[in-house]
Structure 1
Amino acid sequence: MPIAWKRRSCGSPAGSGASGTPVNRWSSSRVLRYRVLAALVLIPLVVWSVLSLPSRLFAAALGAFWLLAAWEWTRLLGWQRALVRGAFLGLVAACLGWLFLQLEDASFSRMLYLVAAAWWGLAFAWLFRPQWGRGRTLPKMVAAFCVLLPAWFALSQLHMRPEDGPWLVLYVLALMWVADSGAYFAGRAFGRHKLAPAVSPGKTWEGVAGGLLGVMLYAWGSGQWFGWQGGELAGFVVLALFCASMSVVGDLFISLLKRQQGLKDTGHLIPGHGGLLDRVDSLLAAAPLFALGLGLLRL
């Protein structure tokens, strides 16, 4: 996920609790430049892809990126051998190909989203026992399929909705950015109470509250833009708040797996941002729950 939920040590008293050295400030400035440059390239590319590509082609392109995320997941499993990692990648690709054929099956999609919801409930419980799963490959392998596949399916199916599909995909992406940005600024300004110190010491309850406040305002404005009023608008805002809350679980879960494996980032694909999983960890939880919520609310 975007690193905004994390108050990483960057030489700032707000981020680390200590005065920064000139070296730390220089390093922080360099990382910030990399992050800004990467964002300036990636954001227009993502927006263009979402708005311009036909839905089937969008799903295929997204699947290619998801395979990169699956490759990074093998690092969370501690695998080093290219043959083993490649076999896992092939299995994920086969599952994506089969799911591609189910994108227009409404009953299947509801079942998949319910499975995803059940999984994220389990992941939430897992966070309270951060030592569980350490050194165990099978639970983390199962987690990969429960995390990656429903999120890809949800974004691909959302894109296929007539009229507003691509805009809903952009809405979900922007929702995560708003939540992360609100959390970043609120955490730096007011962060005092740790959210999950055993998993990700930089996150605070104040940061989460700031993110949710931003999400509430953003969802209210976006809901009106989509044309929803009254009860529909209220349901849309509540759904956004729920998805933003669960996106924190997605972030924390990937952080937990990284911590168990002794990793700072899942990869080095994006300069200044780490790996692809580091960028989409919150989205992995939010996307299927958002798609499920839209169906339940009949929006």
Structure 2
Amino acid sequence: MTRTRVLAALVMGPSAILAILFLPTRWMAAIAALMFLVGLWEWLKLAEIEDTLSRTVLLLLNLALMVVLTWASRSTSGFSPALFQIVSLVGAAWWLVALLWLRFYSFASDHQTWARLFKLAAGTLAIVPAWCALCLIHSDNFTAQGGFQENLWRQHLWLLTALAIVWAADSGAYFAGRAFGRHKLAPRISPNKTVEGLLGGLVSGLVVGLLGGWLAGVQASQLGALALVSVTTVLVSVVGDLFESLLKRHVGAKDSGNLIPGHGGILDRIDSVIAALPVFLIGRELLGF
């Protein structure tokens, strides 16, 4: 299993980096939409929508929402980011609600229709804003300063930085938890996560965030703001990870799927990312780096 996981990671990692750095945003948005919608398909299964037709209809409705947002964002000057920003803000606010949901573990766990409705709404609030945020961070012509970016590679590097913060935090938490983990973080939801692991993830995410920002050309005076956004991004990514674990606990599932050899489902790989992206985008825009 370990060999399979490593081989899958060696394929996925470089492919993702190359796509982020060199694909135009329209292609990056299409690939991300496909990946996120596959993750949503798995989310719907965890929400106990067993009927394939029902899941297909719900998936197409979310796809239609993405298309409508894109169509409505057209303007005479090209692309207006306002709608994408609003949806990203709604997504970031949703993860605060999700944190409260984690506190009340048993909420919507009784397999009733009303519980499914809450989880369906949660899926849309997680996936669509994350996609909007990804598009804005990667955007070929929109920057946090509201201007045009001459060096597209550097602009695309911001998306890689956001993702690398999450990836580094995940790895840092794993190794720190293995080496020093003593105090459980959320034993009822994810017994293997520890406070020490969280601290290791925070340090790793912070270091990678600062390094990515330096490569992207952030000024020395903005490092404090970047550090704050990096730490906040890590914390929210943990909420995303825990929330998916909560969904799996409610239905007794180990993984969200089996699409990726040795890694489970797509949602297992993007649960932290979908929470982190709206927060990273908003922090970057508010603090102006």
- Report the Cα offset of residue 138 of structure 1: 0.7
**1:224 counterpart (214, 217, 234):** 214
CA distance in 2: counterparts of 1:255 and 1:197, whole angstroms: 11
- Paired AA for residue 126 in structure 1: W
The alignment partner of 2:236 has SS state of helix
| Residues 197 and 213 of structure 1, relative CA distance in 2, 3 Å threshold | same
Deviations 1:146-204 (A, max 9, x none): 00001111111211143333211111121111101111110000000000011111100
CA distance in 2: counterparts of 1:293 and 1:137, whole angstroms: 32
TM-score normalised by length of structure 1 = 0.86
**2:122 counterpart (143, 161, 185):** 143
- Is the 2:92–2:279 contact (alpha carbons within 8 Å) kept by the matching residues of 1? yes
Question: Match of 1:28?
Answer: none
The alignment partner of 1:202 has SS state of strand
CA distance in 2: counterparts of 1:108 and 1:87, whole angstroms: 24
The alignment partner of 1:263 has SS state of coil
- Paired AA for residue 86 in structure 1: T
**1:214 counterpart (204, 210, 216):** 204
- Is the 1:223–1:237 contact (alpha carbons within 8 Å) kept by the matching residues of 2? no
Quote the sequence identity (%). 43
- Report the Cα offset of residue 229 of structure 1: 3.0
The alignment partner of 2:227 has SS state of helix
Q: How does 1:92-131 map to 2 (within 5 A)?
A: 92-101=62-71, 102=73, 104-131=79-106
- Paired AA for residue 117 in structure 1: A
Question: Match of 2:273?
Answer: 283
Deviations 1:190-246 (A, max 9, x none): 000000011111100000000111122222222222222343111011100000011
Question: Match of 1:75?
Answer: 45
**2:15 counterpart (11, 28, 45):** 45
* 1:86 maps to 2:49: no
Please say which of residues 217-226 and 137-146 is displaced more in the overlay.
217-226
Aligned residue pairs: how many?
A: 269
Q: How does 1:253-268 map to 2 (within 5 A)?
A: 253-268=243-258
Please say which of residues 186-195 and 63-72 is displaced more in the overlay.
63-72
- Is the 1:34–1:272 contact (alpha carbons within 8 Å) kept by the matching residues of 2? yes
* 1:58 maps to 2:28: yes
- Is the 2:168–2:201 contact (alpha carbons within 8 Å) kept by the matching residues of 1? yes
CA distance in 1: counterparts of 2:40 and 2:30, whole angstroms: 15
Structure 2 gaps of 5+ residues are 141-148
Question: Match of 2:178?
Answer: 188
CA distance in 1: counterparts of 2:98 and 2:88, whole angstroms: 15
- Paired AA for residue 146 in structure 1: L
- Is the 2:138–2:156 contact (alpha carbons within 8 Å) kept by the matching residues of 1? yes
Please say which of residues 99-108 and 141-150 is displaced more in the overlay.
99-108
- Paired AA for residue 42 in structure 1: M
- Is the 2:240–2:274 contact (alpha carbons within 8 Å) kept by the matching residues of 1? yes
- Is the 1:92–1:145 contact (alpha carbons within 8 Å) kept by the matching residues of 2? yes
- Report the Cα offset of residue 108 of structure 1: 2.1
The alignment partner of 2:191 has SS state of strand
CA distance in 1: counterparts of 2:137 and 2:206, whole angstroms: 21
CA distance in 2: counterparts of 1:220 and 1:47, whole angstroms: 18
TM-score normalised by length of structure 2 = 0.89
Q: How does 1:22-33 map to 2 (within 5 A)?
A: 31-33=1-3
- Is the 1:249–1:285 contact (alpha carbons within 8 Å) kept by the matching residues of 2? yes
CA distance in 2: counterparts of 1:117 and 1:288, whole angstroms: 5
CA distance in 2: counterparts of 1:174 and 1:255, whole angstroms: 21
- Paired AA for residue 61 in structure 2: L
- Report the Cα offset of residue 112 of structure 1: 1.6
Kindly indicate whether structure 1 or structure 2 has the higher relative contact order, using CA contacts under 8 Å at least 6 residues apart.
Answer: 1
CA distance in 1: counterparts of 2:103 and 2:61, whole angstroms: 30
